Structure 1
Amino acid sequence: MGPGRSLGAGSRWAGALLVTLTVLRTRLAHCTEPEGRFVLQYKGECQYINGTERVRFLLRYSYNQQQTSHFDSELGLWVADSELDRIDVEHWNKDPAGLAQTRGEVDRFCRHNYGVAAPFTSDRRVQPKVKVSPTKSGSQPHAHLLVCSVTGFYPGSIQIKWLKNGQEQTAGVVSTELLQNGDWTFQILVMLEMSPRHGDVYACQVQHVSLPEPLTVRWEAQSDAARSKMLTGVGGFVLGLIFLAPGLAIYLRNKKGRPLPQPAGLLS
């Protein structure tokens, strides 16, 4: 990863509709042409610049993954990209009714769909949840991985950096692809390979449009001696509880069976 992991779309957003037609050609009697599979595709694409201030509609035709013709709303005409569709393009451009219908798709298809999707996308902001956890690296026995888990954010454009003692780290950084959760939120894991020393402070820094300022989650390396002392203290506390419990139970049982002392005036 470079100076920062920047993901997601910028100011330009495109929505595409892809329809694929598969034509199977069978061998007829007395036909020498071999059997084959041919794919005809057409794709409608909407490009939005600064909301609906400028909208561009593209309709592309492809044959066997080769674009043969396309319509561009900014030109208002069909364009032949190969000889396969040149005659068809000339016919389409001379058809006023068909050409007017295709030109109208920039409003009927693009602007309409933008209005439908805008309440869910344009102003929606969900802050990410960030968690840092260490794990052993399987590739090198003495190396460790710090995993920065960033989940539940929207929109998908996000920047994630690893810092060590305040200095950005670029070597040994690996990330997963941006994953969709199916609820209009995203998640991603960014990992840093490290060899920590006592006192090193690592930090995962996240920048997102939903955050007023970068969100930083820190992790500090501890020495083996410090971890041993901590484990020894926890173990001693647990052992103390184990020995204390039976003694307390015996004391309470003996106290319950002992007769209460009587007042001196009642013994005469």
Structure 2
Amino acid sequence: MGTGWILGAGSRWAGALLVTLTVLRTHLAHCTEPPEHFLFQAKGECLYTNGTGRVRYLQRYIWDRQQIVHFDSELGVHVADTELGRPSAEHWNKDPAILAQQRGEVDRFCRHNYGVFEPFTIDRSVQPKVKVSPTTSGSGPHSHLLVCSVTGFYPSGIEIKWLKNGQEQTAGVVSTELLQNGDWTFQILVMLEMSPRRGDVYTCQVEHISLRGPLSVNWEAQSDAARSKMLTGVGGFVLGLIFLVPGLLIYLKNKKGRPIPQPAGLLS
């Protein structure tokens, strides 16, 4: 029990599954002979608050997927969760050596592993990538959705806001669940239902521990007049190409068929 490693920890509560044991044909203290096939597990768990400012150690004992007894460092004793675990809890609580071993795991196991793995897990941070894209919503004739895609960030704690012309928007905001990628990073989508008007500026604002300040990505509503001007310009360019290409072909054809003029001295 004095060795192991943590999977994650931080300023909030963080749990770590440390040990899983499979035991066949054995029995707990004072228990009757078990059935032929069963599963017995012992799981150690370290919970951290404000780094190592407050550490809680839990040792759980599970019989066929049901927790029957556990040790809690904040209580300092074993606690029976079922009648099956009561004889073991009473037996272990009467043994000073077992209690001393369990009570010492807060420092020997939890705080030790926190220091060992802190450079690899606790201080790691990856900046999010933010992209804003519009899409049409079917809820109304003039309704649209703005999708803020926030991907590739670590740790998972993140705050995402939608702003319209600098004012935070709360109505019409929908978020997906936080999804974990296979590379220890996370992603999430936050959508805003909107009815854009000329000159409106929408902003997806992201705050994350990896950033020095809020990261903002803007999307500006394009007016009907601007779209008309753009379409007119594109149409004029296409029409120009239509007339230019045949004229250029005719010019090149005539130039190719015209006789080459000879110097005047060669005609005499």
Q: Kindly report the root-mean-square deviation, in angstroms, between the aligned alpha carbons of the 2 structures.
A: 3.1
Encode CA deviations 1:72-127: one digit per residue, 9 max, x unaligned.
22343212345543332110112344434434544565345435543332222222
Residue number in structure 2 paired with 1:150: 150
Task: Give the distance between the partners of 1:249 and 1:117, measured in 2 at CA.
Answer: 73
Encode CA deviations 1:211-268: one digit per residue, 9 max, x unaligned.
2221111111123343233223223322322332233233233323433333333333
Contact conserved, 1:14 with 1:45, CA < 8 A, in 2? Answer: no
Encode CA deviations 1:159-207: one digit per residue, 9 max, x unaligned.
1110111110001100011111111221111000111111111111111
Structure 2 segments unaligned to the other structure (5+ residues): 1-8, 23-37
Q: Could you say what secondary structure the match of 1:78 adopts?
A: strand
Task: Give the distance between the partners of 1:40 and 1:110, measured in 2 at CA.
Answer: 23
Contact conserved, 2:59 with 2:71, CA < 8 A, in 1? Answer: yes
Task: Give the distance between the partners of 1:198 and 1:65, measured in 2 at CA.
Answer: 60
For 2:80, the aligned partner's letter is A
Contact conserved, 2:149 with 2:189, CA < 8 A, in 1? Answer: yes
**Inter-CA distance 263–187: structure 2 relative to 1 (3 Å threshold):** same
Contact conserved, 1:162 with 1:204, CA < 8 A, in 2? Answer: yes
Residue number in structure 2 paired with 1:123: 123
**Inter-CA distance 231–120: structure 2 relative to 1 (3 Å threshold):** farther
For 2:240, the aligned partner's letter is G
Residue number in structure 2 paired with 1:215: 215
Q: Could you say what secondary structure the match of 2:183 adopts?
A: coil
Residue number in structure 2 paired with 1:171: 171
**Inter-CA distance 266–145: structure 2 relative to 1 (3 Å threshold):** same
Structure 1 segments unaligned to the other structure (5+ residues): 1-8, 22-37
Residue number in structure 1 paired with 2:206: 206
Task: Give the distance between the partners of 2:41 and 2:228, measured in 1 at CA.
Answer: 65
For 1:213, the aligned partner's letter is G
For 1:186, the aligned partner's letter is F
What is the percent sequence identity of the aligned residues? 80
Task: Give the distance between the partners of 1:219 and 1:229, measured in 2 at CA.
Answer: 20
For 1:253, the aligned partner's letter is K
Task: Give the distance between the partners of 1:93 and 1:73, measured in 2 at CA.
Answer: 13
Task: Give the distance between the partners of 2:184 and 2:61, measured in 1 at CA.
Answer: 31
Contact conserved, 1:15 with 1:45, CA < 8 A, in 2? Answer: yes
**Inter-CA distance 196–20: structure 2 relative to 1 (3 Å threshold):** farther
Structure 2 counterparts to residues 92-103 of structure 1, below 5 A: 92-103=92-103
For 2:151, the aligned partner's letter is T
Residue number in structure 1 paired with 2:161: 161
Task: Give the distance between the partners of 1:245 and 1:113, measured in 2 at CA.
Answer: 74
The Cα shift of 1:51 comes to 2.8
Q: Which has the higher contact order (CA 8 A, sep 6+)?
A: 1
The structure in which a higher percent of residues are strand is 1
